[in-house]
Structure 1
Amino acid sequence: MAVLAASAPLAESGSNPDVNLLYDVNGLAKQAPHWFDRVVSYIGEYGLLVAMVLLVLGCWWSVRRRAAEDTVPTMAALVWAPLAAALAVLVNVPIRGFVERPRPFLEHRGLDVLVSGKTDYSFVSDHATITMALGVGLFVAHRRFGLAGIGLALAEGFCRVYMGVHYPTDVVGGFALGTAVVLLLSPAAVAVLTPVLRAVERSPRTGWLVRSRRREPVGAADAVISEAAGGRGERDLAA
């Protein structure tokens, strides 16, 4: 009976596209060199998260240096990206507790698990949720950086299945959760964050966080030029 029970998941996998895809993607790890699996496991566990943080910082630096008219709303959308990622992870806590889906290597034999110690529930993937929330949040703020972020999120999802720690549907669920939190709450979040960042911009101490330099209003610049020209004319007449 124990043998039959243990083999039941394998029998069910024949008609389950989710499990079939899991075995197909994770099967690549068995064919790859050991060093390559170690690299993928490190990238999938830590590397892509660090890359996403660096991408957010790069977007902040780019928007700050540009100092365009829409800098403040763009910065508000950018600040919303990590906040949305954190909120999505919190939303995932009750989802995991409700679904209670075990990790795939606990249900199916023959998987090459590259990261040990995963004992929490599988659905949905926190890594997929965080990276996609950051990627979509970046896309709302800046298209070019956002496309790069979404690409990193897709790579993260592939790595989690390759490592044998998530089903493909865990990853898809994480992508959906991260995207939904960002897009559904983005209008309200940006509306709240924009006046806060305008106050930050006006502050002499913190204004550098929003703009690299203050741009003088056109009227004020013209007044300075006129005053300088007038002063020069008066000096010429006096001479």
Structure 2
Amino acid sequence: MAGLAESGSNPDVDLLYDINGLAKDAPGWLDRTVGFVGEYGLLLAMVLLIVACWWGVRRRPGGAEDAASSVAALVWAPLAAAIAVLVNVPIRGFVERPRPFLDHQGLEVLVSGKTDYSFVSDHATITMAMAVGLFVASRKFGVVGIVIALLEGFCRVYMGVHYPTDVVGGFALGTAVALLLSPVASMLLTPVLKAVDRSPRLGWLVRSRAARLGERDGFAPGARSEVAAEERDLAA
């Protein structure tokens, strides 16, 4: 593959050329699609996944404390991503690693305008931090989130804007921030979400109306409908 000679015995650069080389052989429409997905699409998918998880959590039967804890974990996911990106600012400034296409010839670069440093990848950091935060809230949604983060990492190398180690470093940073600060975040956010749950105007952010009615009447929403059906049958 072109450029391998200058990579020497560096496995990081070798893998960069191997993965980015796929872009050379792919049709133009596929490269454009991967470029858009890797730059914007997977970040949007992660946000939508968190929203979908929130929608399911707030409709789930359970007490106010359980609901507040679950929603607090979801709120922590994007906050963890934001904190991880802030932590990455001094890391990038200290390492000062140029983008791979500046030091290595023959790469297929799918996006332009990347003039900042390469290590570590912000995209990999953000998606993995949100994925791990989501995993704390919901194993099912979290696994999907981790798959999205892994795809993001692959896309960044495929696009020619990051070394594989940039991506691995981003995964490690995002995971560390999301996990290590999760207990503190839960301790701070859960009381806030409990207060929101008690609010007549904002309570829907924590629990849906059906979940509230189910708790008030002593039934889960599904159980209430079943009891109503039985009462109708008896009356008939």
- Which amino acid is the alignment partner of residue 144 of structure 2? A
- Which amino acid is the alignment partner of residue 188 of structure 2? V
How far residue 72 of structure 1 moved from its aligned partner, in angstroms, is 1.2
Q: CA RMSD in A?
A: 1.8
| In structure 1, distance between residues paired with 2:214 and 2:85 | 42
- Which amino acid is the alignment partner of residue 174 of structure 1? G
Report whether the alignment pairs 1:164 with 2:173.
no
May I ask how many residue pairs the two structures share in their alignment? 214
- Which amino acid is the alignment partner of residue 60 of structure 2? R
How far residue 71 of structure 1 moved from its aligned partner, in angstroms, is 1.5
Gaps of 5+ in 1: 1-8, 223-239
Task: State how 1:88-237 maps to structure 2 within 5 Å.
Answer: 88-213=84-209, 215=212
Gaps of 5+ in 2: 220-236
| In structure 1, distance between residues paired with 2:216 and 2:156 | 56
Partner of 2:15: 21
CA separation of 1:193/1:22 partners in 2, compared to 1, >3 Å: closer, same or farther? same
Partner of 1:85: 81
Give deviations 1:170-202, integer Å, cap 9, x for gaps: 000000000000000000110110010000001
| In structure 2, distance between residues paired with 1:88 and 1:176 | 10
Partner of 1:60: 54
- Which amino acid is the alignment partner of residue 132 of structure 1? M
Stretches (4+) displaced over 4 A: 9-12, 216-222
TM-score (norm 1): 0.86
CA contact (8 A) 1:71 1:210 kept: yes
> Which structure has the larger Rg over C-alpha atoms?
1
CA contact (8 A) 1:10 1:109 kept: no
- Which amino acid is the alignment partner of residue 58 of structure 2? R
| In structure 2, distance between residues paired with 1:98 and 1:23 | 26
CA contact (8 A) 2:125 2:171 kept: yes
CA separation of 1:174/1:64 partners in 2, compared to 1, >3 Å: closer, same or farther? same
TM-score (norm 2): 0.87
